[in-house]
Every structure is written in structure tokens, then in C-alpha cells.
């Protein structure tokens, strides 16, 4: 049994986003094609065409930005069949689209994202995230960032809970080539030279695949999850304001979390959720 873990990030290169988020979405190998085809059907159902064909991308920062919510609220909710026709017309008309078409397309975008998360829930996909304060100190370039090691830890616990035969295959959004080589070197040292890394390599295949996000459905899901967490998910120690209009999507993403219980210190039933907040990207050895 294998799970493909699709990984993407949000907010690391943006001044506006409140938190940087490294997110992963686990999809069991036998479910992957069904997830992909259901998401493609959802595109047709909401937009009347494949929105992601050609140069358009279903990137979260484009389809969930504040402007989309404002446009969606211009008119009362449009019945789905009519909305699909108007949304398709808006995509075809471009800048000459009118109020009805623009509003329908905005409402279709939000409805599509809700269905994406419903499909993920239906196929028992699991979400993981490292949430980083943007002022967090960075580690030495040779050391794997703590947001990655925390993500691997939570993926490892999930795979342990699934069963003895469960393995994780990492699939990353492609970075600039030199950055990809740096990450590969950091992961190689982590999984070979640290005790935790060696233990986790029993479940996580240490060499990832790098793919183009606009061509890979799983990475697009991870992009949505990362963006929703950055802008809407909050824990007690997260002080940046959240976008309240996203609360329904946040609740859907939270349903994808996995809850692990492990013995930690004197507590044999310590609960470890799949979303971790990180104040320092350096490991203990790097801080020293």
C-alpha cells in the first residue's frame, strides 16, 4: 500500500500572506485516478469547461483572493445550471464580460473549491501542514528546514497508523533547478545522517519527485490547502488576523487532519495533530 504525498507551499515569497505554510496532501495510490477524474468533472460541472486548460491555472491565490469573494457577493446566489452557463461565457468573453457573468464565475470558483475538499474527504485524503511565523530565523543552508522535518514527522506517524505495509512517496512542486538540488541534498543528509530521519525513511521514500504544479492535480490540491491554512486557520498562539469569509473552507480542511496519539515524556497519550506551528526554522543543532 502506498500513498502519494503531494507538497506545495504558500506565503514564503509573499509580503501580504500572514503565515508561510508548507502543506502536504496524502492520496492512496488506488484512489489517485478517481480523485483526478472527479476533480476534472467538477471543473466541467462548475465552469462549463476545463478552467485549467491553456494558460489558466487553478491557483489558490487567484481563485480565493479577496476580490473573488467581493465579486461573488455582487448578486444573490445564482442557480447552478445558470451559473455554469454564465461562468463559461465569462471565460470566453474575457474583459468584455458583464456583471452577471463576472459574479457567476466568482461564485463558481468558490463552489469548485468546496467540492474539491468534499472529494478529498470522500476519498479519505489526509492533510498535513507546517505553519511558519514569517519572522522565524532561517537555518544554515546545508540543514533541512524544520518545517520540512515536522511535515515528515507527521506523515510518518500517519503511515504508521495506516499499517505495516504503508509507504509514502513524496511529490513536490518543482523549484528552480538549483533550489531543487539544495533540497535534495538537505533531504539526503536528513534521512541518512540523523536518527529521526533514518527511522522515518522506513516509511517515507527519501527521494522525491518534482513536477509542474499546473500539470499535476495533487499539487494543486496542496496549494489550495496551504493557502486556506495561511489565510484562515488559526490556533491560540497564532495572532495574525484571519479572513472570516473563508471559515467554511477552513472547517473542510480541518476535517482532513489526522490525529495521532504517541507516548511523549510521561504522557502515554499525547495527541499530535497534523498541523504544526513553528516559530524557528532552525533545528537544535543549528541553534547551537
Question: Three-state DSSP class for 210?
Answer: strand
Q: For 169-183, what is the mean pLDDT?
A: 89
Model confidence band, residue 55 (pLDDT cutoffs 50, 70, 90)? confident
Give the mean pLDDT of the chain: 90
pLDDT of residue 288: 40
Least confident of 177-181, 192-196, 258-262: 258-262
Grid cell listed for 229:
491554512
Q: Answer yes or no: is pLDDT of 272 > 90.
A: no
Average the pLDDT over 89-99 and give the result.
92
C-alpha cell at 37: 477524474
Environment class of residue 184 by beta-carbon count within 10 Å: exposed (0-12), middle (13-18) or buried (19+)? middle
Q: Hey, what long-range contacts does 76-81 have (CB within 8 A, 24 or more apart)?
A: 77/107, 78/103, 78/104, 78/107, 80/111
pTM: 0.92
Residue 214: the pLDDT is: 77
Per residue in 115-131, pLDDT (tens digit) is 999 999 999 999 999 99
Q: Residue 116 half-sphere exposure, CB side, CA atoms within 13 Å?
A: 30
Cβ atoms 245, 123 nearer than 8 A? no
Determine the pLDDT at residue 14: 66
Looking at the chain, the whole-number percentage of residues with pLDDT higher than 90 is 69
| Angstrom distances, CA of residue 268 to CA of 149, 160, 260 | 23, 17, 12
pLDDT tens per residue across span 231-269: 999 988 899 999 999 999 999 999 998 777 777 777 777
Amino acid at each position: 500500500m502506498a500513498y502519494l504525498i503531494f507538497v506545495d507551499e504558500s506565503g514564503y515569497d509573499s509580503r501580504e500572506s500572514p503565515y508561510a505554510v508548507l502543506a502536504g496532501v496524502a492520496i492512496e495510490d488506488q484512489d489517485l485516478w478517481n480523485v483526478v477524474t472527479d476533480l476534472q468533472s467538477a471543473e466541467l460541472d462548475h465552469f462549463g469547461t476545463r478552467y485549467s486548460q491553456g494558460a489558466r491555472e487553478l491557483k489558490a491565490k487567484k481563485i480565493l483572493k479577496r476580490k473573488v469573494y467581493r465579486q461573488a457577493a455582487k448578486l444573490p446566489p445564482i442557480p447552478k445550471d445558470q451559473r455554469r452557463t454564465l461562468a463559461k461565457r465569462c471565460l470566453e468573453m474575457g474583459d468584455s464580460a458583464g456583471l452577471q457573468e463576472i459574479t457567476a464565475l466568482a461564485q463558481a470558483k468558490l463552489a469548485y473549491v468546496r467540492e474539491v475538499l468534499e472529494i478529498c474527504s470522500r476519498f479519505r485524503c489526509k492533510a498535513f501542514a507546517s505553519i511558519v511565523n514569517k519572522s522565524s530565523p532561517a537555518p544554515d543552508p546545508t540543514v533541512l528546514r524544520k518545517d520540512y522535518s515536522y511535515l515528515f514527522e507527521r506523515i510518518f506517524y500517519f503511515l504508521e497508523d495506516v499499517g505495516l505495509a504503508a509507504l509514502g512517496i513524496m511529490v513536490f512542486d518543482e523549484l528552480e533547478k538549483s533550489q531543487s538540488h539544495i533540497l535534495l541534498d538537505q533531504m539526503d543528509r536528513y534521512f541518512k545522517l540523523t536518527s529521526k530521519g533514518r527511522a522515518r525513511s522506513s516509511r517515507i521514500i527519501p527521494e522525491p519527485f518534482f513536477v509542474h504544479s499546473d500539470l499535476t492535480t495533487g499539487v494543486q490540491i496542496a496549494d489550495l490547502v496551504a493557502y486556506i491554512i495561511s489565510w484562515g486557520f488559526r490556533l491560540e498562539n497564532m495572532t495574525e488576523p484571519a479572513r472570516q469569509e473563508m471559515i467554511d473552507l477552513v472547517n473542510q480542511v480541518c476535517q482532513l487532519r489526522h490525529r495521532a496519539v504517541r507516548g511523549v515524556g510521561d504522557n502515554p497519550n499525547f495527541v499530535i495533530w497534523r498541523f504544526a506551528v513553528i516559530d524557528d526554522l532552525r533545528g537544535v543543532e543549528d541553534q547551537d
